[in-house]
Amino acid sequence: MDLNDYWQENKRFIVSVAVGLLVFLIGTLVVSGVVDSDLQKALRTRTGYKNSLKNKARHTSADKTRAGEHNEALQAALGALAGNVAFVPRPGFELDPGAGSASNQYYTAVDQVRGDLDVLRSRHRVLLPEGLGIEPVKTNSAQTIQRHLEAVDLLERALRCAIDSGVKNISKIRIELDPAFNSRGGLGSVERTRVQMTIVSPSDAVSDMLMMTQSDRFGQPLAIEKFEIKAARNKEDEVTAAITFLVVRLRPIELDAEGEA
């Protein structure tokens, strides 16, 4: 079969293939031209932005000065807030590295608090839980013992306020460290040790106690997380109050090289 015969028999197929190939080539050239044009335009735009950012200052020295002043004001406000919130233990409730084991220091402080409050309890005829509800600390960890020591410090302050306010019955006391203290995730920026107590007393005494805990009697108010009160069914003016005090520890916020938290 010669070429002319092949053409006569297959010219429709050959023409179809040729037209399809031509359309494909034209489409490829058009798409390539559009994409290349957009790509080159985007690259030029990016280069222009980079040069602009590199060669032109976006902030003046006055902006830097104002930012520094704002930062100092924020640091001062943060310091004042921390001073009002963070718990500051009194002398005798901080572990002394040169005063023997942490456990001995803790139990010495606990015995002193129990003895002092037992005298007040007897004088004012106040009912308190056995041993003030303070459970033994079964660890030699100085960090754990220090947190329990701070909780005993807060408890002693709160109980003195309660007794001096005329509260007659403190039925339950419980100390609980922050659940995150021993967790794998670690502590956040705010650590909370809870000191919980249940009071059964005339409402006026409970009210006076709360006001006293928020005074500067001990140098700073006692932080309260929760307060619930219920009236007694059988005794007029008697209430049951559940109060949760907090020993608050604030951890410093660490900034990266860019100044971000």
Asked if the structure places residue 111 within a domain, the reply is yes
**Which residue range(s) make up the domain with 182?**
84-250
Residues 120 and 246 in one domain: yes
Asked if the structure places residue 174 within a domain, the reply is yes
What the block records as the tokens of 170 is 């403190």
Residues 92 and 176 in one domain: yes
Number of domains in the chain: 2
Residues 114 and 47 in one domain: no
Residue pLDDT tens, the chain, 261 long:
566 666 566 666 666 666 566 555 555 544 455 545 666 777 777 777 777 666 666 667 776 777 777 777 766 665 555 556 789 999 999 999 988 899 999 999 999 999 999 999 999 999 999 999 998 888 889 999 999 999 999 999 999 999 999 999 999 999 999 988 877 777 778 899 999 999 999 999 999 999 999 998 888 999 999 999 998 777 778 999 999 999 998 876 554 444 444
Q: Decide if 205 contacts 170 (C-beta within 8 A).
A: no
Residues 142 and 221 in one domain: yes
Q: Decide if 143 contacts 208 (C-beta within 8 A).
A: no
For the chain, the distance separating the N- and C-terminal CA atoms, rounded to the nearest angstrom, is: 83
Residues 123 and 45 in one domain: no
Residues 114 and 177 in one domain: yes
Residues 226 and 110 in one domain: yes
**Considering the entire predicted model, what is its pTM?**
0.67
Residue 169 DSSP symbol: B
Q: Residue type at 206?
A: V
Residues 197 and 141 in one domain: yes
Residue 122: C-alpha distances to residues 158, 166, 253 (Å) = 17, 13, 46
Residues 105 and 203 in one domain: yes
**What is the pLDDT, as a whole number, of residue 261?**
47
**What is the pLDDT, as a whole number, of residue 82?**
56
Residues 213 and 139 in one domain: yes
Q: Which residues of 48-79 are buried (b: 16+ CB within 10 A; e: fewer)?
A: eeeeeeeeeeeeeeeeeeeeeeeeeeeeeeee
**What is the pLDDT, as a whole number, of residue 58?**
63
Q: Which of 214, 209, 193 is nearest to 241 (CA)?
A: 209
Asked if the structure places residue 232 within a domain, the reply is yes
Residues 102 and 146 in one domain: yes
CATH number of the domain residue 152 falls in: 3.30.70.60
- Report d(CA 125, CA 168) in Å as an integer: 7
Asked if the structure places residue 215 within a domain, the reply is yes
Asked if the structure places residue 56 within a domain, the reply is no
- DSSP for 233-256? SSSTTEEEEEEEEEEEEEPPPP--
What the block records as the tokens of 164 is 């001096």
Maximum Cα interatomic distance, the chain, rounded to a whole number of Å: 130
- Report d(CA 166, CA 209) in Å as an integer: 8
- Report d(CA 117, CA 162) in Å as an integer: 11
Asked if the structure places residue 256 within a domain, the reply is no
Residues 132 and 185 in one domain: yes
Asked if the structure places residue 58 within a domain, the reply is no
Asked if the structure places residue 59 within a domain, the reply is no
**What is the pLDDT, as a whole number, of residue 131?**
93
